[in-house]
Structures are given as structure tokens and as C-alpha cells.
Amino acid sequence: MRQKTEVEIPNIPKKKVGAAALFIKKEQGHDKILLVLSEGKDYWTLPGGVVEDRESPEDGCIREVKKEVGLAIKNPPFLGVGYQSRDTEDSLHFIFFGGFLDDKQVKRIKLQPGEILEYKLATLPESKKLVPDRLYQRLSKCMTVLDNDKAFYMEYWEE
């Protein structure tokens, strides 16, 4: 049996990969989205983070959600992915559905010290003022995916 060796191929582009989970809490007839505020950021995001080398986006999402907010998820359904190109890097951001939260789960949220400052539940219209525009666009698509079960793909180009 031959031994498999890795060959380093020069000039193969690398992309940064992130993964996050959308959690929804139904409150007084409104869907509220779980958002987190990370240390050093002036905007809110979904719980999640950077996918590590040789880690799948789903596994990265599960790990980051557990680390950041203490919620354990299994086999989260895929909602969509956004591609972003900037002068210095390309990135892919996967979003999975973490599930519907009840009061007990919200009370069990445990923020990662030194990284996550606080969390809040916000309706989609409220989130427009809190999250970056490209995330708001993805959140809007996610809400549609939950209704029609069709994942999305979006692109963003920054010069």
C-alpha cells in the first residue's frame, strides 16, 4: 500500500471560512433572532466564528456556538452561504439553523468570557440597525429559507 503524501502547490488561492447559527425565539407573535456582540466590534452578529483548518463548516458552527453562547446543537440544517471578496482576501460565510429557542434555553445561554460581551433577541426589522448590511441581507434570506426550504447563495464585492 502506497503512503499518501501531501503536495504543496504554490499559488493556490485560500479562502477564509466562517460559520454561524441562526436561532429564533417566538415572542408575542414575532420571530426574534439571537444576536451577539463580540469584544472589539461595534456591531452585532450571529453566534459563530472562523472554521479551523480541516474542519467542516457545520462542525465549525457547532463548536463556535457551544463556545460563544453555550448552546449545543446537532446536525443543524444548512440555510445558505455568502461569498465576499475584498482587496486582500476572499471569504465564505455559512449559516445554519440552530433551532427555535424557548425560555429555558435562553436562560441557559452562557457567554464566552473575554470574547462575547452580551446577547440580545431582535426582530428582523430591529436587526437592520444592529448588524452589517450584508448580514442583514443574509438574515432576510434565512427567514425566507425557513419558509420555503430553499438554501441561498449571495455574493458581495468590495473594492
Domain ranges of the chain: 16-157
Tell me the mean pLDDT in the region 15-36: 95
Residue 146 host element (H or E):
helix 133-148
Q: How far apart are CA 21 and CA 49, in angstroms?
A: 10
CATH H-level, domain 16-157: superfamily: Nucleoside Triphosphate Pyrophosphohydrolase (3.90.79.10)
Q: What is the SS3 assignment for 120?
A: strand
Q: How far apart are CA 117 and CA 109, in angstroms?
A: 12
pLDDT tens sequence across 109-156: 999 999 999 999 999 999 999 999 989 999 999 999 998 889 999 887
pTM for this predicted structure: 0.88
Residue 79 per-residue DSSP state? E
